[in-house]
Amino acid sequence: MSILEKIVKYKHQEVEQKKYAFPVSLLESSVLFTAPTRSLRNALEKVPVGIIAEHKRRSPSKKIINDSLLVQDIAEGYQSAGAAGMSVLTDTNFFGGSLDDLLLARSVTSFPILRKEFIVDPYQIIESKAYGADAILLIAAVLSDSALKEFSELAQSLKLEVLLEVHCKEELNRALLPSVDMLGINNRNLKTFEVSTNTSKTLSEYIPEEFIKISESGINSVATIKELRDYGFRGFLIGEQFMKAQDPGNTAKEFINQLF
């Protein structure tokens, strides 16, 4: 069983437990459920290069990256650095994150926040809105065609933007939906966790202009971003490069300043 398959299997079990402990009616009564959302797409369109800076404590491939800092300090640092938005990894079992991280990041910032999660059930989309997300990640590799349509349309109805992540041309063809705002090319093979930015380059030509192109994973230099920008990418999701530093916000600031 691949790492991705293990995560998805666990996630289905986790969601069923959450449905019992925190029913949808409770989520819908959250103050944040009716709060206006911020557009990550618009934030990325306003700048030549948009950095989505990620909070990630650990991963199955890298183990602990940085678990000694407060998420609210990192969030404030990312916003001050000029990031277009922030990605918050909320998976606990494999990545060490939580929904509390999302709440804390939301409480101290005003820029768009993407909830990065392995979404396998509509419940998680409602949950994302209740905890203050502005956008959600959907992964084509773990969802059927009907689920991609259903989930993205549900997100749209809740005023949540959708970043749909793909890894190959077959997944990309399934992802071209009017209810999707941004298309993310994950340079990491989720079965082997190997990384190559050639994935973004190869798939870029098949993405229609109406979608914002975002490159994810393996982006660790300004030169890489400048190269990918020539392929039409407007957004770049960067986590480990910032999180492995003692001061992720300052590292992000230095990195972003080199882009302009």
Catalytic residues: 54, 56, 116, 165, 186, 216-217
- Residue 137, both tokens: 């990640």
Give me the phi and psi of 162, to 5 degrees please: -120, 125
The three-class DSSP label of residue 196 is coil
Q: Are strands 58-59 and 63-64 parallel, antiparallel or unpaired?
A: antiparallel
Helix 71-81 and helix 99-108, axial crossing angle in degrees, nearest 10: 50
- Which phi-psi region, left, alpha or beta, contains residue 230 (left: φ > 0; alpha: ψ -120 to 50)? alpha
Tokens 């190269």 correspond to 227
| Residue 163 β-bridge partners | 137, 182
Distance from C-alpha of 33 to C-alpha of 175, rounded to nearest angstrom: 27
Q: Tell me the longest C-alpha to C-alpha distance in the chain.
A: 49
Burial class (CB within 10 angstroms; exposed 0-12, middle 13-18, buried 19+) of 12: exposed
Alpha helix segments (H runs only) across 131-239:
145-157, 169-175, 198-204, 222-229
Degrees, nearest 5: CA angle 150-152-153:
65
Distance from C-alpha of 41 to C-alpha of 55, rounded to nearest angstrom: 19
